[in-house]
């Protein structure tokens, strides 16, 4: 049996080009990894991480479990295309083995097996299973059509607007399976066999088309099927479908603890090209659903970055609230990638910059506990006063780092891409903390908190947000409060919740002094206040619109007071709210038992 017919040519050329380009890309990306990353891979390979990664690959790349959590129908669509196609290939190989035993069969022999196997005795079991799998995939294609027409039916208010290359690849993909159905059915019409799908359709063709028409149809349909496959394979490494193969190494590298950083590096390429442009990141974006800005979301940012057409207007227009990253089914580190794009666009190493950062220590007091108010807290003196009352009530000896003016933590500058200059501030503050020999560093600002924990080298100093610190004081009995009957609703600041993973501590504090009511979007889904320091693109009017939207949701809980745990969120929400907005420290200080 020869496994070659002229129609196989488009498929063979497409497949060869795809494998060559994908392998080439991987080789270059891996080769360019910094030495530390290469060592991490070598260390990780023989460990448990490899097994875990294999498990995650099955769960995510094939079954798409995380998309099921967004919407079950959407999950089914992605699963039927990915897992269904995988099974068609895998069961197809088993089918060839069942027919021919273990012998070498070229790739096209497996893929177009129905065409070549006409002379063999039929195995109805495989006819049935292969038809079932084809139906499984076709149902996914049908849903994909529905999604293009009405994305709402699939749990998505908006879906991605694709570029031309993606549309070509998408059209080829959608045609592959209907073409396969027609081709296999036409063969069945001439030679019999086939399951409930191809067999039935083939029988119908045989009865209604006649032999000549069926012969012509068969010849044409296999050409169309092979051409669609070939076109898809050629387009694949350059289109969104590069994600099919890129997500797999990404999962493994992530398990080997490779991470993106504030500077671009080769690992980023795995993340950028693993984006399937599914568009799940669009709906959570408040810039989209409140301000109707629809060209800056992570899907478009990654696309622009990948095709080297990223403009500062797109890179800068993001709150970096992390709502999209929390939903991303591929788990791409969206904020960090945007950060290092901004670094590329804007970072300018300047040795003379911030030369004034010396001998400006204006700190006061002494104690093992240091308190860093942060710029935003200095602008909200009620939080500062409340913290002072709490420290006094708990009889804590406190070193005040910046009550009379201090140096910014560096995170706002870092978020705008000037990472080298931000490092100077970080070094200055680190030296300051060391000089005053503190053991605990408390801050009221989650922006500072995040940078202290992630970018400062503060070994030996425990960094706490004031919500965590206050809760500790309450639990150890050093701070006694009276419970009132006021009802509160709590707004999770992005940098504290999604950014630092502190959801429970502020809630525990509020529940100790009153009744807590949760807003509709809470914890991982909490809205951003809209005034994030990460965004330098939106106007004041747009910030207020976002604040009104957040405030409306918080007020809808019916709570008497809105509570948050970030001075910036407090100021931002207050601009859109009719009710009072307080920081956690203020409501605690008001309830201290005298």
Interface with other proteins by CB under 8 A: which residues? 346, 348, 350, 352-354, 356, 360, 375-376, 378-379, 405-408, 410, 412-413, 416, 418, 421, 425, 531, 533, 536-541, 568, 571
Q: Which is nearer to other proteins, 130 or 547 (CB)?
A: 547
Distance in angstroms (rounded) separating the CA atoms of residues 249 and 57: 9
Q: Which is nearer to other proteins, 340 or 440 (CB)?
A: 340
Are the C-beta atoms of 284 and 321 separated by less than 8 Å? no
Q: Which is nearer to other proteins, 106 or 349 (CB)?
A: 349
Query: Least distance to other proteins from the beta carbon of 347, Å?
Result: 10
Query: Least distance to other proteins from the beta carbon of 453, Å?
Result: 19
79 three-class SS: helix
Rounded to the nearest angstrom, the gap between the alpha carbon of residue 533 and the centroid of all alpha carbons in its chain is 20
Query: Least distance to other proteins from the beta carbon of 251, Å?
Result: 36
Rounded to the nearest angstrom, the gap between the alpha carbon of residue 215 and the centroid of all alpha carbons in its chain is 49
Rounded to the nearest angstrom, the gap between the alpha carbon of residue 444 and the centroid of all alpha carbons in its chain is 28
Greatest C-alpha distance within the chain: 98
Which residues, in sequence order, are CB contacts of 38 under 8 Å at separation 6+? 30
Least Cα distance to 315 among 325, 329, 326, 300 occurs for 300
Residue 173, CA distances (Å) to 13, 266, 422 in order: 17, 29, 47
Give the chain's radius of gyration (CA, Å).
30
Query: Least distance to other proteins from the beta carbon of 353, Å?
Result: 5
Distance in angstroms (rounded) separating the CA atoms of residues 305 and 480: 53
Q: Which is nearer to other proteins, 5 or 544 (CB)?
A: 544
Query: Least distance to other proteins from the beta carbon of 349, Å?
Result: 12
Q: Which is nearer to other proteins, 325 or 421 (CB)?
A: 421
Query: Least distance to other proteins from the beta carbon of 166, Å?
Result: 32
Torsion of CA 232, 237, 239, 244, to 10 degrees: 80
Rounded to the nearest angstrom, the gap between the alpha carbon of residue 325 and the centroid of all alpha carbons in its chain is 3
Q: Which is nearer to other proteins, 354 or 488 (CB)?
A: 354
Are the C-beta atoms of 174 and 138 separated by less than 8 Å? no
Q: Which is nearer to other proteins, 140 or 417 (CB)?
A: 417
Q: Which is nearer to other proteins, 198 or 532 (CB)?
A: 532
Rounded to the nearest angstrom, the gap between the alpha carbon of residue 439 and the centroid of all alpha carbons in its chain is 35
For 207, the enclosing helix (H) or strand (E) is: helix 198-209
Query: Least distance to other proteins from the beta carbon of 110, Å?
Result: 56
Distance in angstroms (rounded) separating the CA atoms of residues 196 and 179: 17
Query: Least distance to other proteins from the beta carbon of 299, Å?
Result: 25
Query: Least distance to other proteins from the beta carbon of 354, Å?
Result: 7
Are the C-beta atoms of 495 and 568 separated by less than 8 Å? no
Query: Least distance to other proteins from the beta carbon of 576, Å?
Result: 13
Q: Which is nearer to other proteins, 207 or 359 (CB)?
A: 359
Q: Which is nearer to other proteins, 202 or 410 (CB)?
A: 410
User: Residue 417 class from Cβ within 10 Å (0-12 exposed, 13-18 middle, 19+ buried)?
Assistant: buried
């Amino acid at each position: 049996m020869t496994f070659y017919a002229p129609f196989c040519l488009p498929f063979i050329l497409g497949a060869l080009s795809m494998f060559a380009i994908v392998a080439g890309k991987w080789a270059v990306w891996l080769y360019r990894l910094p030495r530390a990353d290469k060592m991490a891979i070598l260390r990780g390979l023989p460990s448990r991480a490899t097994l875990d990664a294999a498990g995650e690959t099955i769960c995510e790349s094939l079954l798409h479990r995380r998309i099921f959590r967004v919407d079950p129908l959407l999950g089914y669509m992605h699963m039927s295309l990915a897992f269904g196609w995988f099974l068609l290939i895998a069961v197809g190989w088993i089918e060839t083995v069942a027919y021919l035993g273990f012998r070498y069969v070229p790739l096209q022999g497996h893929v177009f097996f129905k065409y070549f196997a006409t002379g063999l005795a039929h195995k109805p079991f495989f006819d049935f299973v292969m038809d079932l799998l084809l139906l499984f995939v076709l149902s996914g294609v049908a849903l994909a059509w529905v999604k293009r027409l009405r994305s709402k039916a699939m749990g998505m208010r908006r879906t991605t607007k694709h570029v031309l290359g993606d549309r070509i690849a998408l059209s080829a993909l959608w045609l592959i399976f209907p073409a396969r159905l027609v081709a296999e059915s036409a063969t069945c019409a001439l030679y019999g066999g086939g399951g409930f799908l191809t067999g039935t359709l083939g029988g119908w063709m045989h009865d209604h088309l006649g032999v000549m028409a069926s012969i012509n149809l068969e010849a044409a349909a296999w050409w169309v099927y092979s051409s669609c496959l070939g076109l898809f394979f050629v387009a694949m490494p350059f289109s969104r479908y590069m994600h099919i193969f890129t997500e797999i190494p990404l999962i493994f590298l992530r398990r080997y603890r490779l991470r993106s950083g504030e500077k671009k590096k080769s690992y980023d390429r795995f993340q950028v090209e693993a984006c399937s442009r599914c568009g799940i990141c669009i709906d959570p974006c408040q810039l989209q659903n409140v301000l109707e800005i629809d060209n800056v979301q992570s899907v478009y940012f990654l696309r622009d970055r990948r095709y080297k057409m990223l403009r500062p207007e797109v890179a800068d227009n993001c709150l970096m609230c992390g709502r999209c990253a929390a939903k991303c089914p591929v788990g791409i580190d969206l904020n960090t990638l945007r950060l290092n794009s901004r670094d590329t666009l804007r970072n300018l190493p300047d040795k003379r910059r911030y030369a004034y950062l010396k001998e400006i220590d204006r700190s006061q007091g002494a104690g093992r506990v240091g308190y860093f108010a942060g710029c935003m807290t200095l602008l909200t003196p009620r939080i500062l006063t409340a913290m002072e009352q709490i420290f006094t009530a708990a009889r804590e000896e406190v070193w005040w780092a910046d009550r009379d003016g201090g140096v910014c933590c560096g995170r706002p500058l870092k978020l705008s891409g000037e990472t080298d200059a931000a490092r100077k501030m970080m070094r200055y503050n680190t030296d300051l903390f060391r000089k005053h020999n503190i053991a605990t560093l408390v801050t009221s600002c989650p922006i500072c908190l995040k940078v202290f924990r992630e970018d400062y080298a503060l070994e030996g100093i425990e960094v706490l947000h004031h919500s965590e610190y206050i809760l500790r004081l309450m639990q150890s009995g050093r701070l006694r409060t009276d419970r009132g009957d006021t009802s509160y609703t709590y707004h999770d600041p992005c940098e504290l919740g999604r950014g630092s993973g502190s959801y429970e501590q502020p809630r525990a504090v509020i529940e100790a002094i009153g009744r807590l009511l949760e807003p509709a979007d809470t914890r991982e889904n909490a809205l951003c206040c809209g005034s994030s320091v990460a965004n330098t693109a939106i106007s004041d009017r747009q910030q207020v619109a976002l604040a009104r939207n957040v405030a409306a949701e918080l007020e809808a809980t019916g709570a008497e007071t809105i509570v948050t745990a970030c001075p910036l969120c407090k100021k931002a929400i207050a601009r859109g709210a009719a009710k009072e907005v307080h920081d956690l420290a203020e409501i605690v200080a008001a309830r201290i038992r005298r």
